Amino acid sequence: MNVAPRMGRLGTESAFEVLARARALERQGREIVHLEIGEPDFDTPAHIKDAAKRALDAGATHYGPSAGLPELREAIAKHVGETRGVPVSPEQVVVTPGAKPIMFFTIMALAGEGDEVIYPNPGFPIYESVINFVGARPVPIPLREESGFGFDLPLFERAVSDRTRLIIINSPENPTGGVLDRGQIERIADVARRRKIPVLADEIYRQFLYEGEFVSILSQPGMHEQTILLDGFSKTYAMTGWRLGYGVMPLALAGHVTRLMVNSASCTASFVQLAGVAALHGDQAPVARMVAEFKRRRDLIVAGLTTLPGVRCPRPRGAFYAFPNITGTGRPSAEVAERLLDEAGVAVLGGTAFGEHGEGYLRLSYANSEANLRKALERMRPVFEGLAAGR
Ligand SMILES: Cc1ncc(COP(=O)(O)O)c(C=O)c1O
């Protein structure tokens, strides 16, 4: 089959590939601890599932408007308005099957041949993949451990050019767990405003914040007209398999993104959207309980990783990933990740799965039970001891 040349520019998300390899090992009888995939191990709260069942019984099984059901767009506008402290209208909201399409659609709508897009590295691999796919030039901004994995601001300011069509930020960040502080957000907003460059703010991990404050660039003066906010239900309400996310964007862009929905998914499943209304209107205690539990697990895994030879682990402030520095082993991160899967039965991702600046790190999702985290730490020790002994 002759595929179009653009397919050669489309990347992937290695978490799904490592998951497939781990599952293949399981079929051969191996027992694997899964720390590769980024999804809460909690079940979707019961009141959300009940709302979906009621919606199915009430006949919410047909096509709906491409930008989303009015009741969900209203609930999202209210929620984002309250949590980011700015007025948001339902017309600014586009609902999508998962939050990922908002990335794809925004980059498709704003960047093309010869344009440049700025994005974090290490960062969610789909940013770079889609930037390449649309023929634009990816301009990575390194996130460095020394600065808490925040944006390297002087480098960022130098990287902005007349061709920059979009700046992508992600806070709390996947894979580092870093959180952009107020000063960094203010400086990024300042540059974006002066140069009139839109910002795609990926805030999917907003609620997974363990210390410090969360600052949304949408709240910055003037940024209402320039921000595309990406958020959703996958992580916050443990709804990864439901596929429900959204973008909040200036009206001028919402029409184009809606047309991309018409041309692709048509609309998001109607009963799933009604479950989303229940999630936003209902009891938020399950979210708080899950985040409190993840904080305990973060402390456990960071403390455990720190005791392994050749490993140093900064304490992530948000999301649910540990990003240990393994440069002490002297080995490339992809090789260490592979050995951990083959020899210890622990599936993790090498930092380079998130870009070249992820070399020297591993990503471990701690959205897993305490028992499994302890088991993973125990099994990883002999591999790191072997590496330290030059084996
Ligand atoms: C940074 C980031 N943004 C967006 C997403 C996509 O979320 P969804 O499952 O809602 O498409 C993920 C999922 O892993 C993510 O890590």
| Residue 10 to residue 127: CA distance in whole angstroms | 10
Atom of ligand 1 nearest to the CA of 170: 1
Burial letters 301-318, b for 16+ CB under 10 A, else e: bbebbeebebbebbebbb
Tokens of 176: 């580092």
Q: Whose CA is nearest to atom 5 of ligand 1?
A: 100
Q: Which amino acid is at 120?
A: P
| pTM for the predicted model, two decimal places | 0.97
Q: Which of 11, 66, 80, 21 lies closest to 280 in space, CA to CA?
A: 80
- Determine whether the shortest distance from the Cβ of 176 to ligand 1 is under 6 A: no
Q: Tell me, in angstroms, the distance from the centre of ligand 1 to residue 310's CA.
A: 30
- pLDDT tens profile 203-229: 999 999 999 999 999 999 999 999 999
C-alpha 240 – ligand 1 centre gap (Å): 9
Residue nearest (by alpha carbon) to ligand 1 atom 16 = 174
Element (H, E) at 142: strand 137-142
Beta bridge partners of 363: 349
- Residue-wise pLDDT for 127-144, tens only, equals 999 999 999 999 999 999
Q: Is the CB of 232 under 6 A from ligand 1?
A: yes
Inter-residue contact 33 to 376 (CB < 8 Å): yes
Q: Of all protein residues, whose CA lies closest to atom 13 belonging to ligand 1?
A: 38
DSSP, collapsed to helix, strand or coil, labels residue 120 as strand
- Dihedral angle over CA of 281, 282, 288, 293, nearest 10: -130
Ligand 1 centroid–CA 262 distance in Å is 22
Beta bridge partners of 207: none
Tens digit of each residue's pLDDT (9 = 90 or more) over 76-103: 999 999 999 999 999 999 999 999 999 9
Please choose from 14, 18, 149, 174 the residue to mutate so as to test ligand 1's pocket, defined by most ligand atoms within 8 A of CB: 174
Would you state the structure tokens that stand for residue 329, as one six-digit string? 């082993």
329 lines ligand 1 (CB under 6 A): no
Interior/surface letters 264-293, b for 16+ CB within 10 angstroms, e for the rest = eeebbbbbbbbbbbbbbebeeebbeebbeb
Confidence of residue 13 (pLDDT cuts 50, 70, 90): confident
Q: Is the CB of 124 under 6 A from ligand 1?
A: yes
Atom of ligand 1 nearest to the CA of 123: 1
